[in-house]
Homo-oligomer: A and B are copies of this chain.
Amino acid sequence: MPSYTAPVKDMQFILHNVLNVTAQDVPGYAELEADFTSAILEEAGKLTSEVLAPLNATGDAEGCTLENGVVRTPAGFKAAFDQVRDGGWPGLDLPEQYGGQGMPYVMGSAVGEFFSAANQAFTMYHGLTHGAASAILAHGTEQQKDTYLPKMVSCEWTGTMNLTEPHCGTDLGMMRSKAVPQEDGSYKISGQKIFISAGEHDMADNIIHLVLAKIPGGPEGIKGVSLFIVPKFLVKDDGSLGERNGVSCGKIEEKMGIHGNSTCVMNYDEATGYLLGQEHKGMRAMFTMMNEARIGVGMQGLAQAEVAYQNALDYAKERLQGRDVTGVKNPDGPADPLIVHPDIRRSLMDQKSFAEGARAFMLWGASLVDRAHRMEDKDADGLVSLMTPVIKGFLTDQGFDMTVLAQQVYGGHGYIEESGVSQFVRDARIAMIYEGANGVQALDLVGRKLATDGGKHVMAFFDLVKSFIKDNEGNEALKADFLDPLKAASKDLQAAGMFFMQNGMKNPNAALAGSYDFMHLFGHVCLGLMWAQMGKAALTALEAGADDETFYRTKLTTGRYYMQRRLPATALHLARINSGADTVMELEAANF
């Protein structure tokens, strides 16, 4: 059975040595002293490793069941959810006004990684509540906020997001769900939504569904979509629960993974709904929290990679098989541990260098969100909007690949469900799909974000890379190992951007055929930048005579590994981008 240990020290390294949070001028960051963050992370680490991780495999095996309209979550989930609720974890970064703790998003993300790694299916119940609460916070009336937020922040009530319908996922303009206005200002919502995570379950008194639907007579397509609050139980004026609303779970989907989360078909039959935000501006309301939601999914990719890595590492240290070709390492045993073998190390280093780089990338993104929200910093907002599809697409693709590598370390045992590692692969797979499939992320990046505000934000990113290299060019310990590879990778990214500029105007397909590669190219450069920054932070700590020398030396080795072995992927992505659209678009559909 797999286990999980929250990487608290690593998280602290990023928060304090790399991001240097207390020195940042973001409101709320000054309080993030190392002792304080350490206490929170330790506590979250304890809860996730001791309570949530043990329910991961059992939740996978048992799954959710639907009987007479009632969804039962796996054994132990309800008690664990109570513990999570009692600890105030769901509201960690939500406003104090509604019962939250008002901490920055960067802390919510740090803790969120632990939760996702320990039990992704479980964590989605309060994760989606967080998303729904954020939407109400951003777009709700005062009355709506007062009615729903206190209960949602505490997770007494949970939330859902209802977008997809059987015939439309990405292309929501085709939506058929209807919202008919009533005399009292409410709407009657009818239609079917699918793939609704946590759509129905037994862990909360009420479920607040946020539902996209069309008001008849509104504009065609995506411009006629509005967002509604549809509670499972209507809420009376005094805040108590009233009658059951016309919404029900028609089916629980059988999925490849995240079995512990109930993925429901939700049927709305003249359910009472309340407009959230403006009429026909439903997509805009969804998009305001899109960056956070997508960074959160990117984090899931990293989280599954981390927990899979931890277990593969344990296995590689314990499993005795074969002998070190350069000389026996375990003479008293029948064989050496797997970890002596170079190819096993290659796999473990791929995983380790990804997870640590990704963690820095995710927290950097989260800190930009804080900057954007807490300081109304438009540049930070632009930059994180640019980064969001990269964080989501790159971290989930790579995170999944890393779980596959971890599974491979187990040999045949990895294919047997008993080992638990197959679950990491199956759970990680969904993150590449939901919250906008990764192909759509690439399209968003290349088709929209690159050109936003005249390309200002991508230029800001390049400036950031350039300044870092320039500021540190005298640092010999950093130069050959970190700065030079980063410079080369960054050049590849610029060349790709140049190719799009020169060819994309004439032929959009020339850019779009390279969009997926561009997303990965960009991701590698970001992780290269993160590793260069972490390398610098590690060197600084060593120069300052830090206690745990091994920790920082290990960081340097891991970073060098990334720069030497992973970052050169940028050249391959550039080559593919430069090949343009000809062979991609040439075939008639019938000739495939």
Contact = CB atoms under 8 A, between A and B. Distances in A.
A416 B508 contact: no
A454 interface: no
A422 B256 contact: yes
Contact of A325 (B344, B411, B432, B512): B512
A568 interface: yes
Contact of A342 (B174, B422, B584, B592): B584
A334 interface: yes
Interface of A: 164, 167-171, 174, 194-195, 253-257, 313, 317, 320-322, 325-326, 334-335, 337, 339-349, 352, 400, 404, 407-408, 411-418, 422, 425-426, 429-430, 432-434, 437-439, 442-443, 447, 507-509, 512-513, 515-516, 550, 554, 557-558, 560-561, 564-565, 568-569, 571-572, 575-576, 579, 581-587, 589, 591-592
A270 to B, nearest CB: 25
Contact of A509 (B334, B342, B348, B434): B342
The 9 closest A-B pairs by CB, nearest first: A561-B583, A342-B512, A564-B579, A568-B575, A256-B422, A342-B513, A171-B321, A254-B417, A343-B439
Contacts of A432: 408
B550 A581 contact: no
A168 B413 CA distance: 11
- How many copies the complex holds: the figure is 2
A349 B413 CA distance: 33
20 contacts: A169-B321, A169-B413, A171-B322, A171-B335, A194-B412, A255-B422, A256-B422, A256-B426, A325-B447, A325-B509, A326-B508, A342-B509, A342-B513, A343-B439, A343-B443, A343-B512, A345-B587, A407-B429, A560-B583, A561-B583
Contact of A334 (B174, B195, B550): B174
A371 to B, nearest CB: 31
Contact of A411 (B437, B568, B586): B437
B583 A576 contact: no
B557 A579 contact: no
A459 to B, nearest CB: 24
A359 to B, nearest CB: 16
B416 A253 contact: yes
A335 to B, nearest CB: 5
Contacts of A585: 342, 345
Contact of A425 (B256, B345, B576): B256
A415 B439 contact: no
B437 A589 contact: no
Contact of A592 (B164, B348, B413): B348
Given A164-B412, A341-B512, 19 more contacts: A170-B411, A171-B335, A194-B412, A254-B416, A254-B417, A255-B417, A256-B415, A313-B592, A339-B589, A342-B513, A343-B443, A343-B515, A346-B513, A346-B584, A347-B439, A408-B432, A550-B591, A571-B571, A571-B575
A1 to B, nearest CB: 14
A557 B586 contact: yes
A584 B347 CA distance: 9
Nearest to A515: B343
Contacts of A447: 325
Contacts of A434: 412
A582 B591 CA distance: 48
Given A171-B335, A345-B585, A415 B255 contact: yes
Given A325-B509, A342-B509, A352-B592, A169 B571 contact: no
B341 A169 contact: no
A264 to B, nearest CB: 12
Nearest to A409: B439
A503 to B, nearest CB: 12
B439 A344 contact: yes
A170 B338 CA distance: 11
Contacts of A343: 439, 442-443, 512-513, 515-516
